Every structure is written in C-alpha cells, then in structure tokens.
Structure 1
Amino acid sequence: MTALRVLIVDDEAPARRRLRRMLERLTNDGAEAIEVVGEAADGVEALTQLTKLEPDLVLLDIQMPALDGLALAQHASLPPFIFVTAFDEHALAAFEVGAADYLLKPIRRERLQLALERARTRIEAQRDASAKGEGASELDELQATLRRLVAAEPAPASPTPPRIAAREGGSVRLFELAEIGRFWSADKYTCFHHGGAEHVLDEGLGELELRLGAHGFVRVHRSELVDLGWVRAVHSEAGATSLELRDGQRVAVSRRMVAEIKRRLGL
C-alpha cells in the first residue's frame, strides 16, 4: 500500500513537531507507511495546503485563530480527518461533522495508531466505493447514529455493558459499569468512585461519552459524565443546578444542559 499522506493543522508549532515525530516513529517501528506532506497553522492556511497537496488524511486541531477546526470541517470539503485537541467538550460536534476519530492531547502513541488504522479503513472504503460508483455507506451509518444522538433517541444498547479498566501501579483493575454512576475530569485525568475509593482512567471524558452514551450516561457538564439512572434528586440553589446520585455524590449541571437533563428525567 502507498504511504498515507498526512497534513497536520495546529496553531502551535511544538504540537505540530510532536505529531510529526510520533508519525515518523510509528513508521520506523514497522507501522504502515506515513508521509507528512505539509503543515498549517490555522484553517485558512489549511485550505491552501489542501488544494495544493491533496492529502489522504488531515490531523486537525479545533481551537485555532482565523478559522477553527470545526468551522473548517463544516464549510470545506475535506478528506478524512481526525481531530486532535486539548478539549474534550467538542466530541459530539466533531462526529457530527464526520470526523474519523477524536484524539485528546497529550496524545498516547497507541491511541494515535488506532486512529490512523480507523482512518485507513475509511479511506480504503471510500476509494472502493468511488471505484464502484457507490456511496460511502460507513459515513451514512455514522451520520444516522449522530442524528439519533442529537435527537436524544437512545442508540440500541449492547447486550453486555462494557467494563471499565483502571490502572493501579503495575496492575489493571476491571469494574462493572453498573457499579459506577459518575465520571469526572480533573487535572487532565478522568476519575470515578468505586468501593469508597477514587480511581483514575487514561480514557478522556469525550471518548467515554461516545462509548457509554448507549448505556444511560450523559454529559451534564464539560467535566461531568453521569448515569441518569443514578439520579435521586435535582437541586436548584442560588441559580445553580446539581444532581444528587444514589451514593450521595453531588454533580454540577451546566446552565445550557439544565432543560435537557430535566426533560430526560421527566421533570
């Protein structure tokens, strides 16, 4: 297979250099060939580079001056792209505009490799469909899934809820999802309570939101993901709204989500 031609778009030069080095190391370590064909510091520069370089894949930051990544994806015809950002609150919007994946900084090598493999699969599928004169069925399926999410229609639940893996020293402990009512972000980590103790995950809230949405978990705040089945009371005090969970935890609800959360709770 020919090298995957990649354009890196990020307003921070150190971030572009780090991504380039990671891609070079993946290739050197035996991954399928990757060629960084160019870089851009914002969405406007990216438009010029896209026309000139015609990359197979774009690694795209979201928050940039002039034209940000979401706006670029909404208004331009892009090849498959992966969002690479320090902010996890844009995950749903990212997939609404057709992102192949959503990576949170600092990027883990294995997560980047998985995203590239997914992107390759999409690129190959689109090429095959184009050669046969067919539509991109994978993208159609993704958009249908996102329409269900935006309309607050629950996606079909998988028969067995996923278990949650958390590292403890040199070990990895597995937890039943039904025993966890809340995940929250703190200092770039994702945390949850279980058995009276606090545990830390490598996975970001944005990734968890996408993975656990079919199991009742809802993003009630940029830093809070909650199983609404655990809610036992809704408190409104001094203009702020919070949820009380069955284990006594209290969770702040962002103002823009209050109406939606109350609707989902039947209030």
Structure 2
Amino acid sequence: MHTEISERDLLQKFWEIEAEPKENKKRLLTEEEIKCEEMFKNTTKRDENGRYIVKLPFKSSNPPCKYGNSKEIALKRFDMLDKRLSKNKKLQKEYSNVIQDYLDLGHLEVVPNNEEDEPEAVYLPHHCVIREEKDTTKVRVVYDASCRDKNGESLNSNLMIGPTLQDDLRTLIMRWRGNPICLVADIEKMYRQVKVSKEDVNFQRIWWRDITNPESVIKSYRLLTVTFGTASAPYLAVRTLQQLARDEGSNFPAASEIILQDF
C-alpha cells in the first residue's frame, strides 16, 4: 500500500466533508494530476485480445530510481525472506504457489539472458501479507515499491499517483440507499488484468527461485501487469476500468453505467 499524508490535505478533506454537497461539482485537478491524465490518454493501448496496456506514469522522462542499484538491496531482502519462509513450510508452500500463479497466468516472466545485466533495471523487494479472513487464498504477495535505493530514491517516489476517480463513500452510500436491491461483486485480480508496456516492465523486476526446492537457482523475473504496491496502481486500474466502460458502453450500457457511477 502507498499513502501520503500532509496537514494541508487533511484540513482540505475536513472542509470538503463538512461542506454542503453541490450537484455536478467537479474537483479541480492539480498540475501533476492533469499531466497523469494526459499521459494515460495519449499512451494507453489495447492488444489483439482487447486487453489494455498502460505506461507507468513517471514524473520525469528520466526517473532517478534507475541509478540507485536497487538490485543488491532487493537481493538482500530476498535472502531474508527465504530464511524466514524456510522456518514455516506451510507458508513457504503457499508463497511459492502465489508466485507460480503469476507465472502460469503470464503475469510474470523470467528476464532473458541477454537482458539480465540491464544497468537501469529497478528491482522490487517483496514479502507476504497473511489474510486470515480469507477462506481460499490467505497469502498475498506485496511488492515494496517504496523501498529506497542507495540514492534515497524509490519507484514510488518517481511515480505520479494520479487523481482520485471514484466518488466519496458518502455519495455512494446515499445513492445505494435509493435502490431496493443491492448486489456486491469483486473483480478478480483487478490490478493484474491490466498489462504494463514493454518499455516499463524492467522497472518491476524481482528476485525469485523455487523456495520449496533447495537446489533451485535464483533468477531475475519481471512483473508484466499493474503491480500491487506501486503508487500508481489504484489509479491505473480504476482509470482502465472506466476507459473500458466508455469504449464498450454501446455494447453493454447497463454495465457501463454501473462502472462509471457506482464503482
């Protein structure tokens, strides 16, 4: 998860919550949010299967996180993770299954040998979050895109967060109470349904080996989809969903309206 809190933002939210609601009032975007929106509009594509491909919204064309030698830091963090998981065989197996799911679905790939030594690649440490309330998948792998490199930079500090696209909870609840029946649904692996452009996947490298097999060799992998833990992931996922609703709205008008108004 990624969050930024400032006294100014907290005070602004306080006044917005306390103020009387105004119909059709749109929040003014900051200069960075406008830039992020323009980048999405100008660079987002769809592949031959209709799946959306987005670029990571960097603040500059030459992000400093490329030069901080994150490779060594991520390797040390993986060694610590490996030792920790070796003491809990059940958790070790579940963690391995999650990464294997990434590979099976094509959301993760081994870095080709001829690209292994790419000096500007960014490596992300990763760890697990255990969700006891889940009946099925209890382990979630989280990628630490806020990890600082030797220059004090991180992938998240170089990314634009993007504007808030959804209505506030109060508005959604008031609208929800106007209907006799409520249906709740979840989009499975929502972030991972959106692909990241080939130019940016090397900013999402990780170290991995089959931790259930002591003989396996550690290799470089790269994440090919929007990744949980990056600052721009919530914006990219929701913005893509809204774009889908607009692009396919004529074919699915009811679904499009729900996505744009009630998601």
Which structure: greater strand fraction? 1
With the shorter chain as reference, the TM-score category is under 0.3
Q: Taking structure 1 as the reference length, what is the TM-score of the superposition?
A: 0.21
Asked which structure has the greater RCO (Cα within 8 Å, sep 6+), the reply is: 2
